[in-house]
Amino acid sequence: MTTIAYKDGVIAYDSRQTRSGSIVSDDCQKLTVVDGVSFFLSGAVCDEKALIAAYFGTPSPVPVECSGY
């Protein structure tokens, strides 16, 4: 489970990555910056590029299973 918190202009997030309930990394970068826009992402890593592309106007032809904040 990813934790992303926002308060008073500050965003905090964890760096743990899991797969099927097992911890696979404690050093995962969940912040991605594209064209000056910061994306804090959680969920299916394979869908992150599709989610970001959708934000910029390119809809995904398949369901996207990640979230961005």
Beta strands in the chain (DSSP E): 4-7, 10-13, 17-19, 22-25, 31-34, 37-43, 66-68
What pLDDT does 27 receive? 93
What pLDDT does 68 receive? 65
What pLDDT does 56 receive? 94
pLDDT tens, residue by residue, 12-45: 999 998 888 899 999 998 899 999 999 998 887 8
Q: Look up the pTM and report it.
A: 0.74
Smallest CA-to-CA distance from 40 within 51, 27, 56 is with: 51
How many domains is the chain partitioned into structurally?
1
Question: Structure tokens of 65?
Answer: 């299973």
Q: Which residues constitute the domain of residue 8?
A: 4-68
What pLDDT does 37 receive? 95
**49-61: average pLDDT:** 88
End-to-end CA distance of the chain: 15
- When the pLDDT of each residue in the chain is averaged and rounded to a whole number, the result is 87
